Structure 1
Amino acid sequence: MSAQPVNPNLPPDHVTVFIDGVEMAAPKGSMIIQAADKAGIPIPRFCYHDKLAIAANCRMCLVEVEKMPKPAPACATPVMDGMKVVTRSDKALKSQRNVMEFLLINHPLDCPICDQGGECELQDLSLGYGRSVSRFVERKRVVPDEDLGPLVATEMTRCIQCTRCVRFTAEIAGTYELGGMSRGENLQIGTYDGKPLTTELSGNVIDVCPVGALTNKVFRFRARPWELVARESLGYHDALGSNLFLHARRGEVLRAVPRDNETVNECWLSDRDRYSHQGLGADDRAVQPLIREGDDFRAASWDEALARAAQILRDNAADDLGMLVHPSTSNEEGALLARMAEGLGTGNLDHRIGQRDLSGDAVAAPFAMPVADIANAGTIVIVGSNLRHEVPLLHHRVRQAWRKGARVHVVNPVDFDFTFDVASKAIVAPSRIAAALGGTDLAAAVGEGERMVVIVGALAEAGAHAGAIRSAAERFASAHGAALCRIPQGANALGLSRHGVLPASRDAQAMLRDTRSAYVLYGIEPGLDFADQALALKALKGAQVVAFSQFACASTRAVADVILPIGALPEIEATLTNLEGIDQRAVPAGRLPGEARAGWRVLRALGGELGLDGFEFIDIAPLGASMQPRHVAVQSGQAPQVDGGLELAVAPAIYRSDAMVRRAPALQAHPLTLGPRIVVHPADAGALGVGDGAMARVSNHAGTATLQVTVSDQVAAGTVFVESGYGATAALTAGNVQVVPA
């Protein structure tokens, strides 16, 4: 290695290295293994992961470097100009094989029964670097397993102490739940306190584990990897649209794994997207068309059910019809619903079923800053959001920015737990969020930060004061030159807005207040998905209802006259539009249950039965080609009346956010599923005479519930915090509440 650059034409921040005789340019400070990976030269490794800090503790990546007397770990040796590296010399191969022999000394020989068999990095590398016989004759050590909760299974005797899982929980999840205990041959990886993993990203430790020590508890022993077929799909429980593969065997979806996309979810996946497929097999899946007869339902043929649905829509067309659509509905289905509404002459069409205040600019808009760029923001202001639960991997991007030095400011009614430090916070009642955004305290704390982004979440967008908060957020972002990023309220809220699933006349709240004689419900669980459950159920029970549904649940049966079974996203071909405005495609992985059909097929058949234009296609390709953005002049909705009493702050419970997640047993057993409760400030609890853990009667104009009380100073004074998605709290989301001891 000379003092002069080997290649003077390279940029000043690059050097020339030679790996196995191949000359290449590599950034200064990068490691040998990174340069080799870029050139496609394989170097074995276990502890190295390109998203985690370098540990250099497995030593499997030892290579020979010119003028170095001993083999060097490729993951921890920085490149230098003129460096010559050999990855498969006798010295390198002997070192790698010795390391493999040491790794296998205590590893159990249980490959035939190991649930990681077939996709185990240790198994793969041992084939190339292991001996045919072991020279180790002493007893192997045994490590007791830990119960890490309902999602991750453990066989810690297999652990090779690569510490990938430890670094993941510390660096990516930010929860520091796993660590190494004891030393030397007694080193064990665990939680120390024996408690389950509580991070919302815990399933990623399965992906980073190179052996069978941490595996998918839901998928375990259900299939071998070579039996599975991988299909590209998307996460549809938040607006990020995480890319993933669904693995299926004979049409049954058995697991989900992340699909790399650096601009969306990198190589990670939230637990909600990873395990929600369990809901596909729920007992109340809608598997055949049903028609009401008296107080019960009977099975019907598709022809009969479509004829009955068409008759209801003909008899109640134009302004007598309201059409309510779940915000995770695909673009194809949304476009057909908009065509159907136009053909039937109704402007009462809306997907914003979970939002109370539709005044002002209540239509979803794409982020003003790409998600990947948020990781490089300098100042971030979070408004009205439990971001960690609402969009877990967007929260991860904010944590990335914080680790690079960004300052995070929060305006919220609850002091939620984030995995980053907060530079300033205003914990105020929902009615005061708009004033806090316009106040001098926040402006002084934020200053003139560079690369500023304002993120507005569900507590603001879906609450009773959403209109005022949206306006205040726009003014704040404009005054500070910040990118305004309002999180769409639904996995495809942005796509549905683009394709015209918006009201030309009555919005979702208006068509429920001013009841229609008939409704179309699309993908909705009526008992839990509406912002005002009492108002919705009252309107629906007094009307004729055609329900397109994945589930024939009790609340759907209570209101529907016809139930048409449709497929969920893992079972159909569809596109969703994520929060950046990017269309992403999913292909079917699981087979449709029973007589269920893809929603676009059912809509096509119903449109044909009604004789409407735009339903002449027979395949999804011509449907996609015919879809165009549809502009709807949406009038500002009516702001809701606010009752007296304690203000209500409502956020969706992380694992109760939609019908599919609510039916995933593993997620319902997770520690983050806390159950229905109210959280009250200590001062308010004292004034009301309720204590922590006591039961209280909580009521408003919509209903009454008896709930357990949690007293916490994390909630703003004068405010009650409730998580939605539970039957017990459904009625309470409609307005401010009165609380008395039970």
Structure 2
Amino acid sequence: MLLTLGRIVVLGMKIKTNTPVAKKAREGVMEFLLMNHPLDCPICDQGGECDLQDQSMAFGADRGRFTEMKRSVVDKNLGPLVKTVMTRCIQCTRCVRFATEVAGVQDLGMLGRGSGEEIGTYVGKLMTSELSGNVIDICPVGALTSKPFAFKARNWELKGTETIDVTDAVGSNIRVDSRGPEVMRIVPRLNEDINEEWISDKTRFCYDGLKRQRLNDPMIRGPDGRFKAVTWQDALAVVAEVLHQVKREEIAGVAGKLSDAESMMALKDFVNKMGSDKVFCEGNGPNPPADLRSNYLMNTSIAGLEKADVFLLVGTQPRVEAAMVNARIRKTVRATQAKVAYIGPPTDFNYDHEHLGTGPQTLVEIVEGRHPFCSTLQSAKNPVIIAGAGLFEREDQDALFTIIQSIANKFNVIRPDWNGLNVLLLHAAQAAALDLGLVANPIESIKSAKFLYLMGADDVSLDKVPDDAFVVYQGHHGDKAVYRANVILPSSAFSEKEGSYENTEGCTQWTIPAVPTVGDARDDWKIIRALSEVAGAQLPYDSLLAVRERISMVAPNLVHVDEREPCTISSEVKPPVKQQVSFTPFKTVVENFYMTDAITRASKIMAQCSATLLKK
């Protein structure tokens, strides 16, 4: 006989869970849970995937003994994303714990006592967190549901497709639920190495942008400035004719931030075959550090951040640039009391941090050993430096990364057993573009271009494009760059095609088509392949498998799906940099978290979030 935690445990004892006593006890507990819970199952959006419903069916009785009036609670306004029916709430406090511990906002709490106890916001404010939608998943009843999805569909009507998110560089694992040709909702999939079981609000709610402002047919701008729908043959013939009228050094191609690896490989091969090497990806700057993969990836890995004890964030605001990376940093800070220091414009983090400065001057002081934070770095066991990809756009980026590398070498950030020097990328296409060699200078390429091929590139500056340049826009939304285009070629969105994406830590993942393409749209690489044949420079692949075989020759890591290819640790191989550091303060790269690409800018839900949650 053993005494364990105040209980007597007999060796060899048998515990029975199906006796009448155990069954009656479970039914009694369920009766108390359902005492004030309304019979809303027929009209509740949680019906069919409700935890309380499942438990009641498995362990509850077929009737209850409470005859009193059920309690009624006023609904709370949490914002444009989360719908509340607080009468259904069973006070499990999961949402309160999530908001406090994971999201890092003190917006939800338990109010009142006894029978008047209820969950709400303390001062009637909205839930202003970039992770607020996750309370929908963790609510075991229908008290918190998706406001945009309310009364749109039942879960048994939906087809679930496991794919990945492309609204940032994290590559969160998601499930796209669709009904027929329409995406109805997006929910997270479990991946402990990347996004755990959470996703950001932008990932979860941007799906309505997939059906708005879509490009359906190939179009050519006429002499009157208006677009006219034409056939694919006519559109490709016009583009091919112009291609043969310009010099080869006047051809340039730009890959957009949502481009997959296959389309970027096809674009690079096509432009190269036409005699030009001016191909780049938007967001990678004029001279990206593409010689070594360790210079532009998160070498620690997202999950590896949990081993760090000191964070130095340089020119990056992970809360709006990569919400799931920020959640991982917060988790580490809560679990191990890790210290966080930040260099950049003042911002609101949801964990304790020390603001060291706004520009490179602080970095110079640290590398010279004159800053008080040096002692913290010196005593750290596993220090981590995270540089923002926004530094790629600065003219002094080479000098900046040299200083950051020097800090890493000086304070033992890079060791054989630990590489804490990281770059946090902004866009889904950036890592694969650098692996594939899309590194031309954007300013020089655009200035000299008489033929500019924009593949979903909406945020590249077109101010310096010559007035007589011929611009081809290939994309899925009528966004910014359409207004400058001469020819429009409609392509598939990420939810409609199979493509490879490499996230910020160097892990390659695939998107899987969840819905059919819109109108007469085609996959990006197929459009370029067809154009190459019409232009007389046919590319040597006709299938997705053949394109991936071509990719394996250039960047073999991009064909190893769901694997994170380790980087070579390099600390002394960079050539000396003669560039001078500019002491201009770092800028905020993401001005509006909810609108960062063509899909989110077309989303009505994201527009509501911008108008409501970003109000000052």
Tell whether the structures are fold-level matches, with TM greater than 0.5. yes
What letter corresponds to residue 311 of structure 1 in structure 2?
A: E
Give the match for residue 240 of structure 1.
Answer: 170
Q: Aligned to 1:651, which of 568, 589, 595?
A: 589
In the TM superposition, residue 308 of structure 1 has moved relative to its aligned partner by: 1.3
In the TM superposition, residue 337 of structure 1 has moved relative to its aligned partner by: 1.0
CA contact (8 A) 1:246 1:255 kept: yes
Give the match for residue 623 of structure 1.
Answer: 547
What letter corresponds to residue 530 of structure 2 in structure 1?
A: A
Distance 1:674 1:510, change over 3 A: farther
In the TM superposition, residue 261 of structure 1 has moved relative to its aligned partner by: 0.6
2-structure distance, mates of 1:293, 1:635:
51
Distance 1:436 1:415, change over 3 A: farther
Give the match for residue 66 of structure 2.
Answer: 136
Structure 1 SS opposite 2:408: helix
What letter corresponds to residue 667 of structure 1 in structure 2?
A: M
CA contact (8 A) 1:357 1:637 kept: no
Structure 1 SS opposite 2:554: coil
Instruction: Map 1:652-667 onto structure 2 (within 5 A).
Output: 652=590, 653-667=592-606
Give the match for residue 152 of structure 2.
Answer: 222
2-structure distance, mates of 1:637, 1:355:
19
Give the match for residue 94 of structure 1.
Answer: 24
In the TM superposition, residue 270 of structure 1 has moved relative to its aligned partner by: 0.7
Structure 1 SS opposite 2:307: coil
In the TM superposition, residue 177 of structure 1 has moved relative to its aligned partner by: 1.4
2:326 is the alignment partner of 1:388: no
Unaligned stretches of 5+ residues in structure 1: 4-14, 16-28, 30-64, 69-79, 677-709, 711-742
CA contact (8 A) 2:424 2:504 kept: yes
What letter corresponds to residue 518 of structure 1 in structure 2?
A: F
In the TM superposition, residue 316 of structure 1 has moved relative to its aligned partner by: 2.7
Q: Aligned to 1:292, which of 221, 224, 227?
A: 221
Structure 2 SS opposite 1:670: helix
In the TM superposition, residue 81 of structure 1 has moved relative to its aligned partner by: 9.4
Structure 1 SS opposite 2:137: helix
What letter corresponds to residue 397 of structure 2 in structure 1?
A: A
2-structure distance, mates of 1:668, 1:157:
29
2-structure distance, mates of 1:86, 1:129:
15
Distance 1:392 1:673, change over 3 A: farther
Q: Aligned to 2:346, which of 415, 418, 421?
A: 415
2:62 is the alignment partner of 1:125: no
Instruction: Map 1:302-321 onto structure 2 (within 5 A).
Output: 302-316=232-246, 318-321=248-251
In the TM superposition, residue 411 of structure 1 has moved relative to its aligned partner by: 3.5
Distance 1:393 1:86, change over 3 A: farther
CA contact (8 A) 2:367 2:403 kept: yes
In the TM superposition, residue 461 of structure 1 has moved relative to its aligned partner by: 3.5
In the TM superposition, residue 88 of structure 1 has moved relative to its aligned partner by: 3.5
TM, length-normalised to structure 1? 0.74
What letter corresponds to residue 592 of structure 1 in structure 2?
A: T
In the TM superposition, residue 317 of structure 1 has moved relative to its aligned partner by: 5.1
Q: Aligned to 1:373, which of 298, 304, 308?
A: 304
2:460 is the alignment partner of 1:522: no
2:447 is the alignment partner of 1:508: no
Give the match for residue 578 of structure 1.
Answer: 503
CA contact (8 A) 1:566 1:598 kept: yes
Choose between structure 1 and 2 for higher RCO, CA contacts under 8 A separated by at least 6 residues: 2
CA contact (8 A) 1:235 1:273 kept: yes
Distance 1:81 1:637, change over 3 A: farther
CA contact (8 A) 2:389 2:423 kept: no
Structure 2 SS opposite 1:105: coil
CA contact (8 A) 1:150 1:667 kept: no
Instruction: Map 1:207-356 onto structure 2 (within 5 A).
Output: 207-282=137-212, 284-294=213-223, 295-316=225-246, 318-351=248-281, 353-356=282-285
Give the match for residue 589 of structure 1.
Answer: 514
2-structure distance, mates of 1:303, 1:359:
37
Instruction: Map 1:85-234 onto structure 2 (within 5 A).
Output: 85-234=15-164
Distance 1:124 1:541, change over 3 A: farther
> 90-99 or 476-485: which moved more?
90-99
Instruction: Map 1:398-409 onto structure 2 (within 5 A).
Output: 398-409=329-340
Cα deviations by residue, 1:559-612 (Å, 9 ceiling, x for unpaired): 111100111111111110111211101101122111111212212211222233
In the TM superposition, residue 541 of structure 1 has moved relative to its aligned partner by: 4.1
What letter corresponds to residue 623 of structure 1 in structure 2?
A: V
Give the match for residue 686 of structure 1.
Answer: none
2-structure distance, mates of 1:180, 1:271:
24
Distance 1:412 1:647, change over 3 A: closer
1-structure distance, mates of 2:445, 2:17:
69
2-structure distance, mates of 1:118, 1:510:
57
Give the match for residue 495 of structure 1.
Answer: 432
What letter corresponds to residue 444 of structure 2 in structure 1?
A: A
Give the match for residue 610 of structure 1.
Answer: 535
Distance 1:330 1:359, change over 3 A: closer
CA contact (8 A) 2:290 2:439 kept: no
> 82-91 or 557-566: which moved more?
82-91
In the TM superposition, residue 340 of structure 1 has moved relative to its aligned partner by: 0.7
1-structure distance, mates of 2:377, 2:149:
46
2:395 is the alignment partner of 1:461: no
CA contact (8 A) 1:379 1:406 kept: no
CA contact (8 A) 1:380 1:406 kept: no
In the TM superposition, residue 291 of structure 1 has moved relative to its aligned partner by: 0.4
1-structure distance, mates of 2:286, 2:338:
31
CA contact (8 A) 1:241 1:578 kept: yes
What letter corresponds to residue 410 of structure 1 in structure 2?
A: A
Distance 1:243 1:635, change over 3 A: farther
Q: How many residues align?
A: 587
Distance 1:354 1:182, change over 3 A: same
In the TM superposition, residue 463 of structure 1 has moved relative to its aligned partner by: 3.6
What letter corresponds to residue 454 of structure 2 in structure 1?
A: L
> 462-471 or 192-201: which moved more?
462-471
Cα deviations by residue, 1:350-386 (Å, 9 ceiling, x for unpaired): 00x2355536669863222121110121111111111
Structure 1 SS opposite 2:589: strand
What letter corresponds to residue 549 of structure 1 in structure 2?
A: G
CA contact (8 A) 1:608 1:616 kept: no
In the TM superposition, residue 268 of structure 1 has moved relative to its aligned partner by: 0.5
In the TM superposition, residue 242 of structure 1 has moved relative to its aligned partner by: 0.4
CA contact (8 A) 1:357 1:639 kept: no
CA contact (8 A) 1:159 1:211 kept: yes
Instruction: Map 1:54-73 onto structure 2 (within 5 A).
Output: 67=8
In the TM superposition, residue 400 of structure 1 has moved relative to its aligned partner by: 1.4
CA contact (8 A) 2:283 2:430 kept: no
What letter corresponds to residue 318 of structure 2 in structure 1?
A: L
Give the match for residue 538 of structure 1.
Answer: 464
What letter corresponds to residue 581 of structure 1 in structure 2?
A: G
Structure 1 SS opposite 2:68: coil
Unaligned stretches of 5+ residues in structure 2: 414-419, 556-573
Give the match for residue 738 of structure 1.
Answer: none
Give the match for residue 75 of structure 1.
Answer: none
Give the match for residue 481 of structure 2.
Answer: 556
Distance 1:563 1:147, change over 3 A: same
What letter corresponds to residue 600 of structure 1 in structure 2?
A: W
Cα deviations by residue, 1:224-249 (Å, 9 ceiling, x for unpaired): 10110001111112111000000000
2:602 is the alignment partner of 1:668: no
TM, length-normalised to structure 2? 0.89
